[in-house]
Amino acid sequence: MTISDKRLLRHLLTAVLIKLVLLSVLWWLFIRDSHVSVDPNIVGNRFGVPTSTQGASK
């Protein structure tokens, strides 16, 4: 590896690490406390799949 290759590798690794840190900070600030409730009937209606009650035979 030449010196310029090592420098490029170091710059790329630094850029990737900075991006990972920034993504982690953004997740921590905006997404961490977000909770989405899922209703099986609404999801089934959205995808056109009939939903059955629990314990019912198919």
Which residue range(s) make up the domain with 27? 3-47
Q: Is residue 45 pLDDT above 90, yes or no?
A: no
Show the tokens assigned to 14: 């630094």
- Domain presence at residue 53: no
- Domain presence at residue 54: no
Asked whether 30 and 36 are in contact (CB, 8 A), the reply is no
Average pLDDT, the chain: 87
pLDDT in tens, 17-34: 999 999 999 999 999 888
- Domain presence at residue 56: no
The region, left, alpha or beta by phi > 0 then psi within -120 to 50, assigned to residue 36 is beta
For the ranges 1-10, 12-21, 40-49, the maximum mean pLDDT occurs at 12-21
- Domain presence at residue 27: yes
What is d(CA 32, CA 43) in angstroms, rounded to the nearest whole number?
23
The total domain count for the chain is 1
- Domain presence at residue 28: yes
- Domain presence at residue 55: no
| pLDDT recorded at residue 53 | 63
Would the pTM of this model clear 0.85, i.e. be above it? no
